[in-house]
A and B are shown apart, each in its own frame.
Chain A
Amino acid sequence: NAGVTQTPKFQVLKTGQSMTLQCAQDMNHEYMSWYRQDPGMGLRLIHYSVGAGITDQGEVPNGYNVSRSTTEDFPLRLLSAAPSQTSVYFCASSLGRTNEKLFFGSGTQLSVL
């Protein structure tokens, strides 16, 4: 099992550009989520999904879109990147439909210039 795989590991964008952060898990986990980590702020939930076709907003959803067409994949789309979106992004999944015992991916370091 690869666990939770995130790509890319690093990305630099210009303000206004769009991009998609990829997240895939091979553990047949129902729950998947995206967090952003900023210095001194802990981890903040962006969006989450409790199964294919079901998504919901977290604490900081503005500027981001998600979709869940399959159990395995949960991409995060930045529609028009802003410097405030410079952060480390983590995808996490868990067995079942709850956020109990999250497995995190290795993260994506995103810089928006």
Chain B
Amino acid sequence: GENVEQHPSTLSVQEGDSAVIKCTYSDSASNYFPWYKQELGKRPQLIIDIRSNVGEKKDQRIAVTLNKTAKHFSLHITETQPEDSAVYFCAASLLYSGAGSYQLTFGKGTKLSVIP
């Protein structure tokens, strides 16, 4: 099955700096890579996702990059703010061209702390 490794497990940055979280996956067939943000005591929420036919995707201060050859993908947060403090999870899955998908495998999470 798929295995997703996520690094670092904790990350502290000064407000306004950038944060980068990296993930590697084992199954070269995986083609869908979402990122979820979980604030303390809350539910995980999707913040950005990317499919393998795209190398990079941006949404305001958040971007995800994908390197299929190396089987790794990264989350980049620029101009960090205190409200970015949370646990971030990467995940990988195989979406079939029709309906259906293989199970979504999550990394173990990165606790990001943004220091004011």
Contact = CB atoms under 8 A, between A and B. Distances in A.
Interface of A: 31, 40-45, 48, 50, 58-59, 90, 96-107
Give the size range of B's interface with the partner: 20 to 34
Contact of B101 (A44, A58, A100): A100
Contacts of B34: 100-102
Interface of B: 1, 6, 9, 32, 34, 36, 42-46, 49, 89, 91, 93, 95-96, 99-101, 103-109
Among B6, B9, B93, B99, max chain A CB count under 10 A is at B99
Nearest first, the 9 A-B pairs at minimum CB distance are: A98-B101, A97-B99, A104-B43, A42-B106, A42-B108, A99-B104, A43-B106, A45-B103, A104-B44
A96 B99 contact: yes
B107 A42 contact: yes
A104 B45 CA distance: 7
B100 A44 contact: no
Contacts of B89: 42-43
Given A42-B89, A42-B107, A50-B99, A101 B44 contact: no
A42 B43 contact: no
A16 to B, nearest CB: 29
A43 B65 CA distance: 22
A20 to B, nearest CB: 20
Given A58-B103, A105-B43, A106-B43, A100 B95 contact: yes
Nearest to A48: B103
A101 B49 contact: yes
Among A44, A45, A102, max chain B CB count under 10 A is at A102
B106 A98 contact: no
